[in-house]
Amino acid sequence: MAGPIRYDLVRTMKSKSVVLSMAVIITLSLALVPLIGAATNPVPSSSGGAVVLSYYSGSEYRFTAYSFNTYGQPVIGTKVNLTISDSTGPHSSAATTNSSGLASWALQAEPPGTQVSYSMTTDRNLGGQGILPPGMKPGEVLALGGSTLTTVVDPSNSSRSVALFVYEGPNGTEPTMYRVYYSYGSGQTPGAAIMNVTRMSLLGAPTSFVSEFRLPPPPRNATRVTIAAFEADPPYDLVSGFSAETVGGNLTPPSPSAVFSSFTSTVLAVVVPLMSIMVAYNSYGKDKATGVLESVLARPVTRRSLGLSRYLSFVIASSVALVMTMVAVELISQALLGGSLPPASAVYTTVSLIVEAAAFVGIVMLLSQVIRSQGNMMLVSVGLWISLDFFWTVIVFFASAALGVQVGSGDYLALTIQSSFFNPAQFYSLVGQYLNGVSMSTGFGGSIPISPATYGVTPFTLALTGAFWILAPLLGFLYFVVRRD
Amino acid sequence: MIKIDALTKTFSRKAGPAIDSVSFEVSNGEIVGFVGLNGAGKTTTIRLAAGVSLPTSGSVSVDGYDVVDQKVEASRRTGWVPELPNFEPNASAISLMRYFAGFYGIPGSEAESRSLELLRSVGLQGAETRRLRTYSQGMKKRFSLATSLLGNPKNYLFDEVLNGLDPEGIRYFRRLMVEVKGREAAVLMSSHILVEVQNLADRVVIIHKGKVIKTVSRGELESVGENIVKVAFERLDDGALRYLKGLGNVRVDGNAVFLRASVDPARLNADLVKMGFRVTELAVQKEGLEEYFLNLIGEAK
């Protein structure tokens, strides 16, 4: 039997669907890994916060506050308490941000001077106090608290960062007279040393109180980012107090681990099940439907042996394709990112994807035994892939609604994770959750790490689930293959 | 030897069984013709005997090995040529032959030489390395014939093997039949070309609507059916027709009547003349397997 199995393996490896799938995966690796690497912006992002600005109009102090989350999106309901103390005593007021994240209010007190101080608190861990500068002219804007220039996560691509500029022009006008610049650098030079328009690149012109500018990917050797706001006209003065090196710590080049993780979760985890379906369909389901399989079945071989031989050859072919992909990704990683894939992640990823591949090969072979029509079989196989890979979160959402579980709650998280045990296409993500941990969002960009074991994600349950997804479809197939034509 | 015992296959409960309790044997050194109308159940029976389809009930054994429970042994002893052979289109003839040879335990080098020898013997020399998708239906039939001979089996199942073969292929097949019969092989062949069946077969099994309705032996084949007497009249008369109907089955064609009955032609002629009927022609024809088969099917209907 070794000869026929070898032939099946060679035949499968040379089959159009396998060659095509391997070509697609490797091409995607070549094309996407550098892109993902470049797109992974390691600029540290703010976890959200608030900015409070003020100016003296000549008769009163006017305040504007903006509260935002880690994506720079408005946060409603942030309360700001402000007290201005002058020679007549303290004057207090409070405001709450609206649905645009904004709050505007006014307070009457003496003009800025050596005796005029302010004190501010918010319910978002932002506060401040100080003397209002005696030289502060009417209409001149002062930040009482918060960073007017910061970085937040790009809501449309969480691997990238956006510069958030929250500011206003004199007398509360739109800040169109400023320009935001950026520069990437290396070494430990203080950011202020390069805060000069001639040494920085233009990021954009603000048009409203809150402006966002997507930061270009940093070069590989960048270790520091500086963003600053200058006046738009010569002599391009740095806007006092509002330009800063907004991020602490160093930039690091995209890590191979992050790129690898992003690539496998966005590409391989989707393509591998489809590849398995196509291979199993083209080499077994179609052969069975067209009668090609009978020409083999007429030889001295049992149905079970022939089915098993084909199954093994598909799984081995898928495994070879995956290993080749990993090698390709490793080579790209070394060439472009200057580092190697984390060996443990590479092994776990490959193994979990092989489990997914084996499960889908088994499922398609099982379907080919129970569905006679070639068209229906293909339809069901692809439908299954789409449902399990793309619509699983929707299915879980409806299941949670049916069970009365509130979205975002701990129970919902538990349902999301535990439902993955019932989906072969989620096996890779389940392994990922075990390796990388699970966290629960607390809102405002915060999260609490939770042990995967809390939801039953342990090495034992993973091994059991993997074994189940390999064996269940295979045993189902072997059961039917000797009982149904 | 191929033994088919109470074989039944139901594809759909609604449609009823495709074959129903079919039983017969093909002994070693015997060629059995298997005839029937389209949809009678010939191909279903042969596919079940080849082990490529599973019976609903009943069994088939080849040299004593059950084709379901002892498939490997049974298939090793069987060569099957399907009515419409279908092979992996992208494989070359020689590579697929080598692959098939692996199932028979033929080692690599021997597989190559044996495959080439068989491909050439069926007239596929020069096309050994061509992909099977480029083969015509006749070439596929020849290729299928070559693959059926790979394991040098003692039992053969030929389903409409003559369809698609050119005259040279048909001649090769006839020679092959003589050869395998000489090797004491058991052959079950279905064909619509009844003349070939009559010439080659030792016995003919007639199947109709999934049931075996008649088995005709070699001896019977030689004198199959009854004489057909053609009686042509100047003008066919109702009285003459009534008289002839009283003697046997008749078929009327214009003023001629074809009477299937064991009668003495001279006596019949004398009787008709005596009754005043003007007979213009009286001839005796031997009924062939085709007429015999059609009459039998007609009766079965």
Residue A182 three-state SS: strand
In chain B, what residues touch A3 (CB-CB under 8 Å)? Answer: 99, 101-103, 108
Task: Write out residues 409-468 of A within 8 Å (CB-CB) of B.
Answer: none
pLDDT digits (tens, 9 = 90+) for A152-207: 777 776 666 788 899 999 898 999 999 998 887 765 555 566 678 888 889 999 98
Pick from A219-233, A382-396, A439-453: least confident: A439-453
Query: Best interface-test mutation with A: which of B103, B104, B149 has the largest number of A CBs within 10 A?
Result: B103
The model carries a pTM of: 0.67
A171: left (phi over 0), alpha (psi -120 to 50) or beta: left
Chain B residues touching A294 at Cβ < 8 A? 47, 52, 82, 86
Q: Tell me the C-alpha distance between A118 and A93, whole Å.
A: 12
Give residue-wise pLDDT tens across range A258-275: 667 777 777 778 888 888
Looking at residues A345-368, what average pLDDT do you find?
91
Say whether pLDDT at B5 is over 50.
yes
Q: What is the pLDDT of residue B28?
A: 96
Judged against a pLDDT cut of 90, whether residue A438 lies above it is answered with no
Strands B31-35 and B186-190 come out as parallel
Range B11-27 average pLDDT: 92
pLDDT at position B155? 97
Q: State whether residue A300 sits within 8 Å of chain B by CB.
A: yes
Q: Residue A186: helix, strand or coil by DSSP?
A: coil
Please, which pLDDT band fits residue B124 given cuts at 50, 70 and 90? Answer: very high
Instruction: For A132-270, list the strands marked E by DSSP.
Output: 141-145, 149-153, 161-166, 178-185, 201-204, 210-214, 224-231
Query: DSSP assignment of A264-297, as one string?
Result: IIIIIHHHHHHHHHHHHIIIIIHHHHHTHHHHHH
Q: What percent of chain A has pLDDT over 90?
A: 18
Nearest residue of B to residue A283, measured between CA atoms: B88
Range B40-59 burial, b when 16+ CB lie within 10 A, else e: bbbbbbbbbbbbbbebeebb
Contacts of B89 in chain A (CB under 8 A): 292
Query: Which domains does chain B possess?
Result: 2-222 (3.40.50.300), 227-300 (3.30.70)
Identify the top-confidence range among A236-245, A375-384, A459-468, B231-240.
Answer: A459-468
B contact test, residue of A299, A301, A304 with most B CBs within 10 A: A299
For chain A, give the percent of residues with pLDDT over 70. Answer: 82
Is residue A2 pLDDT above 70, yes or no?
A: no
Q: Which of A4, A297, A483 sits opposite B52 (nearest CB)?
A: A297
State residue B69's pLDDT score: 95
A485 touches chain B (CB under 8 A): yes
At A120-142, the pLDDT tens digits run 777 766 677 777 777 788 888 88
**B10–A contact, CB cutoff 8 A:** no
Cβ neighbours of residue B301 under 8 Å, at least 6 residues apart? Answer: none
Q: Give the closest of B80, B86, B100 to A290, CB-based.
A: B86
pLDDT mean over A36-63: 73
A404 touches chain B (CB under 8 A): no
- How many C-beta atoms surround the C-beta of residue B70 within 10 A? 17
Say what angle helices B93-103 and A2-14 make with each other, to 10 degrees.
150
- What pLDDT, in 10s, does the model give residues A212-258? 888 776 666 666 677 888 889 888 887 744 444 434 334 455 566 76
State the pLDDT at residue A241: 43
Mean pLDDT of B75-79: 96
Confidence of residue B223 (pLDDT cuts 50, 70, 90): low
The more confidently predicted of residues B162 and B285 is B162
Check residues A368 and A186 and name the one with the higher pLDDT: A368
When pLDDT is averaged across residues A422-441 and rounded to a whole number, the result is: 83
Residues of chain B above pLDDT 70, percent: 96
Q: What is the residue-wise DSSP string for chain B?
A: -EEEEEEEEEEETTTEEEEEEEEEEE-TT-EEEEE--TTSSHHHHHHHHHTSS--SEEEEEETTEETTTTHHHHHHTEEEE-SS----TTSBHHHHHHHHHHHTT--HHHHHHHHHHHHHHTT-TT-TTSBGGG--HHHHHHHHHHHHTTT--SEEEEESTTTT--HHHHHHHHHHHHHHHHTT-EEEEE-S-HHHHHHH-SEEEEEETTEEEEEEEHHHHHT-S-EEEEEEESS--HHHHHHHHTTSEEEEETTEEEEES---HHHHHHHHHHTT--EEEEEEEE--HHHHHHHHHHHH-
- Nearest residue on chain A to B50, alpha-carbon basis: A298
Whether B163 shows a pLDDT value over 50: the answer reads yes
Instruction: Give the pLDDT score at A159.
Output: 63
Q: Between A338 and A232, where is the model more confident?
A: A232
Mutating which of B71, B78, B97, B135 best tests the A interface, going by the most A Cβ atoms within 10 A?
A: B71
What whole-number distance in Å separates Cα of residue B44 and Cα of residue B48? 6
Identity of the residue in A2, A16, A298 whose CB atom sits nearest the CB atom of B52: A298
Domain range summary for chain A, segments of one domain joined by +: 2-40+255-481, 49-231
| For range A30-48, the mean pLDDT | 59
Which of A3, A11, A295 minimises the CB distance to B87?
A: A295
Paired tokens of A428: 């890779």
Chosen for mutation from A6, A294, A374, A482 (greatest number of chain B CBs closer than 10 Å) is A294
Lowest mean pLDDT among A177-181, A436-440, B146-150, B214-218: A436-440
Determine the pLDDT at residue B225. 57
Q: Which residues of A, range 8-27, sit inside 8 Å of B by Cβ?
A: 11, 15-16
The predicted pLDDT at position A117 comes to 79
> Which value does ipTM take for this structure?
0.81
pLDDT surpassing 90 at residue B31: yes
Q: Is the CB of A300 less than 8 angstroms away from the CB of B73?
A: yes
Residues B296, B225: contact at Cβ < 8 Å? Answer: no
pLDDT at position A41, please?
A: 47
Element (H, E) at A89: strand A89-96
> Which whole number is the average pLDDT over B176-201?
90
In chain B, positions 95-124, which contact chain A (CB-CB < 8 Å)?
98-104, 108
Instruction: Give the model confidence (pLDDT) of A278-308 as tens digits.
Output: 888 887 888 888 888 999 999 999 999 899 9
Q: Which residues of B touch A298 (CB under 8 A)?
A: 50-52, 75, 78, 80
Average pLDDT taken over every residue of chain A: 81
pLDDT category of residue A443 using cuts at 50, 70 and 90 = very low
> What is the pLDDT averaged over residues A25-46?
61
